[in-house]
């Protein structure tokens, strides 16, 4: 990284930093609601029968503990020549990848809008950003013609994130195939942020890109679909030849993960379907609830349908900047959402819908009540 002293503050983290701990009703999150240590212990006899007590706090291997790497590989099924590296959240993996792969002046394609790490870290490494717009007028549906238009001979990396934070946009299996073909033909390396891979509603989870394209790195995490953000475990699936490059950077940063978190993470991945299944079913029901609320708002809430993930990114006609509304929701109702300016779209709001249903109803009701008080209001309040 060349420009880290100049790295700008992450607006999303600044917004959440203290409010997250004050909120009574959290409908802001991009992950499903959280699991406990007890939930993990209930899944695995080893964790109940002394495995925790006999764990030795040795340093871990640079690429991660074998059991966890094997569990991730069994689930992700990487293509030939690819290895799994486990990391402190996918945040660390993204940092390592950008730091190891980019040189000043390289062109990097990033989705717009995007989660801050995807664009800011690339820019901090000295890259020239080329933005692939996800267009609100098209309900954020990704258009590959827009991607084609920003690819050049100098494109070094193409960063994608489907399902997408914050819009919930996604490519379908045919769109994935077309996208991989396009990136493959361009000569660029694909960075596939699959944080929300397991959270899809219209088709099975998209396969890891490495099964179809050699030059790819993909990123996964326990923070979103697994409901384990505080465990701080993620991973990167990458060509074996690149692994030493990421380790070279890691040796100055985190060295390795804790054997304790890797043990818990291995249990989580080995029991992925048991952890994810019920939360996904709940998210599906809540997504319906959210869309019904928007449809019943009389035009006060315009909400593109999230095709994946657990966030929606609606706008409220007549509200040019949602930040004051978001402040009032917290101060008057204890409801936490995210103002769209954290993603460069002040007229929108990120709503997380994978909370218990009652929380979501409370939160949406509060938004309706606040919208009803605005001058020229379209809703009369109380919905949700
Ligand atoms: C798209 C995306 N990628 C990566 C991350 C990083 O998550 P973590 O470091 O918890 O794995 C996030 C977190 O919100 C995200 O939304």
Picking from 192, 188, 185, the residue whose alpha carbon sits closest to that of residue 206 is: 192
Q: What CA–CA distance (Å, rounded) separates 161 from 218? A: 10
Q: Is the peptide bond before 113 cis (omega within 30 degrees of 0)?
A: yes
**Global pTM?**
0.96
* Beta strands in the chain, from DSSP E residues, in sequence order: 25-26, 82-87, 107-112, 128-133, 155-160, 189-193, 216-221, 234-239, 311-312, 335-336, 338-339, 349-352
* pLDDT score at 383: 42
Any residues with Cβ below 6 Å from ligand 1, and which?
A: 30, 89-91, 115, 117, 161, 165, 193, 195, 221, 223, 229, 234
In the structure encoding, which two tokens stand for residue 125, read together?
């490494």
Three-state secondary structure call for residue 284: helix
Picking from 214, 218, 178, 187, the residue whose alpha carbon sits closest to that of residue 76 is: 218
**Which of 198, 223, 230, 313 most suits a substitution to test ligand 1, by most atoms within 8 Å of the C-beta?**
223
C-alpha distances out from residue 199 to 147, 159, 306, 348, Å: 24, 19, 10, 22
The percentage of residues in the chain with a pLDDT greater than 70, rounded to a whole number, is 97
How far away, in angstroms, is 295 Cα from ligand 1 center?
A: 30
CA 9 and chain centroid, separation: 18
- Hey, which CATH number is domain 4-37+275-373, 3.50.50.60, 3.40.720.10, 3.90.1150.10, 3.40.710.10? 3.90.1150.10
Residue entry with tokens 């929606």: 312
* pLDDT score at 6: 77
**Which of 90, 191, 236 most suits a substitution to test ligand 1, by most atoms within 8 Å of the C-beta?**
90
Atom of ligand 1 nearest to the CA of 222: 11
DSSP state of 200: B
In the structure encoding, which two tokens stand for residue 162, read together?
């489907």
Sequence-ordered list of residues with C-beta below 8 angstroms from that of 196, at least 6 positions apart, any chain:
30, 161, 162, 163, 164, 165, 224, 225, 308, 309, 310
Instruction: Output 60 or 6, whichever has higher pLDDT.
Output: 60
* pLDDT score at 3: 58
Q: Is the peptide bond before 163 cis (omega within 30 degrees of 0)?
A: yes
CATH placement of domain 57-272 = 3.40.640.10
Q: What CA–CA distance (Å, rounded) separates 114 from 343? A: 7
Query: pLDDT, tens digit, for every residue of 72-118?
Result: 999 999 999 999 999 999 999 999 999 999 999 999 999 999 999 99
Query: pLDDT, tens digit, for every residue of 290-347?
Result: 999 999 999 999 999 999 999 999 999 999 999 999 999 999 999 999 999 999 999 9
Picking from 229, 228, 186, the residue whose alpha carbon sits closest to that of residue 39 is: 228
Return mean pLDDT, the chain: 95
Three-state secondary structure call for residue 291: helix
Domains of the chain by residue range? 4-37+275-373, 57-272
DSSP state of 80: T
């Amino acid at each position: 990284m060349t420009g880290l002293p100049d790295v700008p503050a992450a607006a999303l983290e600044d917004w959440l930093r203290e409010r997250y701990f004050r909120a009574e009703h959290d409908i802001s999150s991009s992950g499903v609601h959280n699991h406990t240590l007890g939930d993990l212990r209930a899944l695995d006899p080893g964790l109940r029968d002394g495995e925790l007590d006999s764990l030795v706090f040795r340093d871990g291997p640079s690429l991660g503990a074998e059991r966890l790497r094997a569990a991730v590989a069994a689930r992700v099924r990487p293509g030939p020549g690819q290895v799994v590296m486990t990391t402190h959240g996918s945040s660390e993996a993204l940092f390592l990848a950008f730091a190891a792969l980019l040189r000043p002046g390289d062109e990097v394609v990033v989705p717009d809008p995007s989660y801050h790490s995807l664009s800011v870290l690339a820019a901090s490494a000295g890259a020239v950003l080329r933005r692939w717009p996800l267009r609100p007028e098209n309900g954020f549906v990704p258009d590959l013609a827009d991607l084609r238009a920003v690819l050049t001979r100098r494109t070094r990396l193409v960063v994608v994130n489907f399902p997408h934070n914050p819009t919930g946009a996604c490519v379908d299996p045919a769109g994935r195939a077309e996208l991989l073909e396009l990136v493959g033909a361009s000569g660029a390396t694909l960075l596939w942020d699959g944080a929300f891979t397991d959270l899809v509603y219209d088709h099975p989870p998209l396969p890891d890109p490495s099964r179809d394209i050699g030059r790819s790195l993909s990123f996964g995490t326990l923070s979103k679909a697994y409901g384990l953000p505080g465990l701080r475990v993620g991973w990167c699936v990458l060509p074996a030849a690149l692994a030493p490059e990421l380790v070279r950077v890691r040796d100055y940063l985190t060295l390795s993960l804790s054997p304790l978190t890797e043990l818990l993470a291995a249990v989580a991945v080995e029991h992925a379907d048991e952890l994810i299944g019920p939360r996904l079913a709940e998210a599906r029901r809540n997504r319906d609830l959210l869309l019904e609320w928007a449809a019943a708002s009389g035009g006060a809430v315009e909400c593109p349908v999230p095709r994946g993930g657990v966030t929606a990114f609606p706008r409220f006609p007549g509200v040019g900047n949602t930040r004051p509304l978001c402040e009032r929701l917290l101060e008057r109702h204890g409801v936490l959402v995210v103002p769209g300016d954290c993603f460069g779209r002040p007229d929108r709001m990120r709503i997380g819908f994978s909370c218990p249903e009652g929380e979501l109803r409370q939160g949406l009701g509060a938004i309706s009540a606040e919208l009803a008080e605005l001058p020229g209001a379209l809703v009369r309040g109380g919905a949700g």
